[in-house]
Structure 1
């Protein structure tokens, strides 16, 4: 059975535009936070751990479909699964919901890369194995 990783957070004033809804670039920050927490909490290999070895997971691409606004004070859940693990990249699917309503969906391709040389590098076996527990079919 596929596992999913969920990060819950409340929409804060600093996330919102003057209309009191989340300003869309803030969602990208929230997606990044979810990926960071996924590696630290679910995989057990934080970005800090990677940086010690001059490694990181820069974004290769991101695709987001906004479906409904989130407002100041809303509690949102961003749920992440893995749809593909390549040699040195992975595609992560995400869905943001609040009170049962989908706020946005999408995918992000991350690349396991050396931060000094800016070259991709194969996923370490330990990380690959832990990520595999979150594999699911891609969203359609």
Structure 2
């Protein structure tokens, strides 16, 4: 957790592995993890009243480590938390839990862009405050074991 005393802003969603989520081997396709992380992000932003950010936050980095396979019909829990808020960027940490425990974990970095801007622009102060945990928190939080949070004021 950060030295600022704020809880990480987080969301948890539950999904089932659907047939189109699998590859020819019968387990989850690698791309479904990114979609689930983005679904958790959508739930988080909606819960914070920040749904208007959709379309203004392109992904600039995505990294995932796969730990175990998920199969058609498996129930998964996707946990996503704000790990760091920069001047115009934000990094999320996420985990996907399946029947055998952690199936995947990683991070995704997004950049805030303006409506009429071709590059990044600083987060609006109210948005930044909500993302840093000063705003309304979602009902479901992220279990923090194994995550390091550094919500700060890094100039990104």
| TM-score, normalised via structure 1 length | 0.83
Pairwise CA distance, 1:83: 1.4
Most deviating of 60-69 and 110-119: 110-119
> Higher strand share goes to which structure?
1
Return the alpha-carbon distance in structure 2 between the equivalents of residues 21 and 79 of structure 1. Answer: 20
User: Match for residue 31 of structure 2?
Assistant: 25
Question: How many residues in Structure 1 have an aligned counterpart in Structure 2?
Answer: 132
| TM-score, normalised via structure 2 length | 0.75
Most deviating of 1-10 and 14-23: 1-10
User: Match for residue 117 of structure 1?
Assistant: 117
Return the alpha-carbon distance in structure 1 between the equivalents of residues 100 and 69 of structure 2. Answer: 13
Return the alpha-carbon distance in structure 1 between the equivalents of residues 45 and 9 of structure 2. Answer: 14
User: Match for residue 13 of structure 2?
Assistant: 7
Q: Which structure is higher in RCO with an 8 Å CA cutoff and minimum separation 6? A: 2
Q: CA 1:119–1:3 in 2, change beyond 3 Å: closer, same or farther?
A: closer
- How well do the aligned residues superpose, as a CA RMSD in angstroms? 2.2
Q: CA 1:38–1:25 in 2, change beyond 3 Å: closer, same or farther?
A: same
User: Match for residue 94 of structure 1?
Assistant: 94
Q: CA 1:109–1:129 in 2, change beyond 3 Å: closer, same or farther?
A: same
Pairwise CA distance, 1:100: 5.9
CA contact 2:8–2:82 (8 Å) conserved in 1: no
User: Match for residue 79 of structure 1?
Assistant: 79
> Higher helix share goes to which structure?
1
Return the alpha-carbon distance in structure 1 between the equivalents of residues 70 and 37 of structure 2. Answer: 14
Unaligned runs of 5+ in 1: none
1:16 and 2:22 correspond? yes
User: Match for residue 64 of structure 1?
Assistant: 64
User: Match for residue 53 of structure 2?
Assistant: 50
Return the alpha-carbon distance in structure 2 between the equivalents of residues 97 and 138 of structure 1. Answer: 19
Moved segments of 4+, more than 2 Å: 1-4, 114-118, 136-139
Return the alpha-carbon distance in structure 2 between the equivalents of residues 12 and 109 of structure 1. Answer: 26
